[in-house]
Structure 1
Amino acid sequence: MKTKMAIKRILPVFMVTAMLATTMTACGSKDNSGNMTTGNKTVASSNQAAGEKFPSFKGKDFEGNDVDESIFSKNEATLVNFWFNGCSACVNEMPALEEFSKKLKEQGAELIGINAGTASDAEGLAEAKDILSKQGVTYRNLILPNDHEYVRKIFSFPTTVIVDKNGNIVGDPIVGAIEDEKKQAEILKVIQEIKAGNGVTSSVPSDQSAANDDPTAPLYEEENKIFAENQDTWNKLFSKIKKDQAQENVEKPYVEFLKEQLEASKADFTEDEIKTINEGLEKIDKIEKQIAELKQK
């Protein structure tokens, strides 16, 4: 069954585990947030991405085997689908992706899922495996470090990229679900062009229009930088959030919600950590007000 997905900004991937139940609508973080997509011209000429390689990595697959960027050399092209445990749109498209993976194999290509952050511990991995089992997924899934260069760039899920056998990213990311048959046909056409070696001219549109014209986008990026600067401290705060508390406070401004979480668990934080969080929340509060003003115009 197809689902329409509203792509929203989410917090950096290293926070998704704790925050996914707090403010998720589809696979975004906040109902009142702006889009963080990369444009509707998703896979264009291979010349666009010339020289841009998928950053090297050392990770694990879901069976615990070591993996690295050499996996790309085993196929003419690899479709890399980024998802996480709390993303309903990601999960909903999995049965269609399972069928699509069979078509890709016929073309000498492979579909690989990359779980972004939420399978990084035993509990999260068990949940992720359960999701894949229930959705009938057999294609390979990997876990990359939370601070991986490419993973940190992704602010909307699901996101999919095409990588050729040399590890080069072909075109721009495909933002949004790819369960639609028309979109899959467009992806297959791109892969055929990669195999032919004559350059890629086909395109696969994203679900959302470009965010480049959205005046709020730089403000969201500014927020995410605040979180990234003190990643461990913020992770510690988000780990205190319980799913039931988050669901009860969905409509509450998340700055206010986080202040309450900090107050409730103050004894677990050092003075420096409390200072860091409070200073960060002050900055974020100002940014949120700017975003609200822009949205009213």
Structure 2
Amino acid sequence: MKKKYAGAVLAMGMFLALALEGCGGTEAAEDAGSGGNEGNVQKEETSGNEESGENIFGEFEAKTLDGEDVTQEIFGQSKLTMINIWGTFCGPCIQEMPDLGEISRSYDSGEFQMIGLISDVTETGDSKAQEIVQSTQADYTHLVASPDIQRKVLSRVSVVPTTIFVDSEGNQVGEGYAGSRSKEEWTSIIEDLRSEVQ
């Protein structure tokens, strides 16, 4: 009887850890991927086959949630860019967005900028995404999942939120991060990575 109880408690603990950490893959990512595991982002502080210095975005064209055209040149606006990949269906993603908004507002944009990448939205003006951004005060730039981004980035992501950092040329800095973090944890990570791109 005790073994059954212990097993049930362990299973429930694992379920809660996954539920609180992040959400499963996205429709856009599944459509863009080939079905294999190559390059998938793993939980913890690793991004699978992605390495620091790799330019995973390359040249791309996309639109912001508000309909503005964006290319890879957006990364040149700041020394360090935090790209938070999130989904409108993902509770942990939405829960961390108020903190991400505060972090974004606390830095000079030439030193650090934040970009949201909405994994499950492919059209500009999506009302659910706009409502989430407004209600969480995550008032930084949010990109929708263009075909370029689906193919080059989202096909490599297996959980949201996933966060990566890039320098002004779009090269990845440090590791990828799967799952949400506290404001304090993100601030510490950002400060460490800012010292790498100075």
TM range (shorter): 0.7 to 0.9
Relative distance call for 1:7 and 1:134 in structure 2 (3 A) is closer
Relative distance call for 1:107 and 1:57 in structure 2 (3 A) is closer
Relative distance call for 1:11 and 1:112 in structure 2 (3 A) is closer
Question: Residue type of the partner of 1:160?
Answer: T
Q: Decide whether the 8 Å contact of 2:80 with 2:197 is kept in 1.
A: yes
**Alignment counterpart, residue 81 of structure 1, candidates 79, 84, 93:** 84
**1:11 CA displacement:** 5.0
Deviates more, 1:158-167 or 1:131-140: 131-140
**1:158 CA displacement:** 0.4
Q: Decide whether the 8 Å contact of 1:75 with 1:110 is kept in 2.
A: yes
Q: Which residue of 2 aligns with 1:170?
A: 173
Higher RCO, Cα 8 Å, sep 6+: 2
1:10 aligns with 2:11: no
**1:193 CA displacement:** 2.4
Q: Decide whether the 8 Å contact of 2:115 with 2:142 is kept in 1.
A: yes
Unpaired segments of 5 or more residues in structure 1? 17-35, 196-297
Distance (whole Å) between structure 1 residues aligned to residue 115 and residue 143 of structure 2: 7
1:129 aligns with 2:130: yes
**1:107 CA displacement:** 6.9
Identity among equivalent positions (%) equals 24
| 1:44-123 matched pairs, under 5 angstroms | 48-105=51-108, 108-117=111-120, 119-121=121-123
Relative distance call for 1:165 and 1:176 in structure 2 (3 A) is same
**1:56 CA displacement:** 2.2
Distance (whole Å) between structure 1 residues aligned to residue 165 and residue 54 of structure 2: 14
Q: Decide whether the 8 Å contact of 2:56 with 2:152 is kept in 1.
A: no
Q: Decide whether the 8 Å contact of 1:97 with 1:179 is kept in 2.
A: no
Question: Residue type of the partner of 1:127?
Answer: K
Relative distance call for 1:185 and 1:107 in structure 2 (3 A) is farther
Relative distance call for 1:121 and 1:11 in structure 2 (3 A) is closer
RMSD across aligned positions (CA): 2.6
- TM-score norm. by structure 1 comes to 0.50
1:158 aligns with 2:144: no
**Alignment counterpart, residue 38 of structure 1, candidates 42, 47, 58:** 42
Question: Residue type of the partner of 1:111?
Answer: M
Give the secondary structure class of the aligned counterpart of 2:102.
helix
Give the secondary structure class of the aligned counterpart of 2:116.
strand
**1:53 CA displacement:** 4.3
Distance (whole Å) between structure 1 residues aligned to residue 74 and residue 29 of structure 2: 24
Q: Decide whether the 8 Å contact of 2:78 with 2:109 is kept in 1.
A: no
Tell which structure's C-alpha radius of gyration is larger.
Answer: 1
Relative distance call for 1:115 and 1:171 in structure 2 (3 A) is same
Q: Decide whether the 8 Å contact of 2:22 with 2:92 is kept in 1.
A: no
**1:52 CA displacement:** 3.5
Question: Residue type of the partner of 1:10?
Answer: G
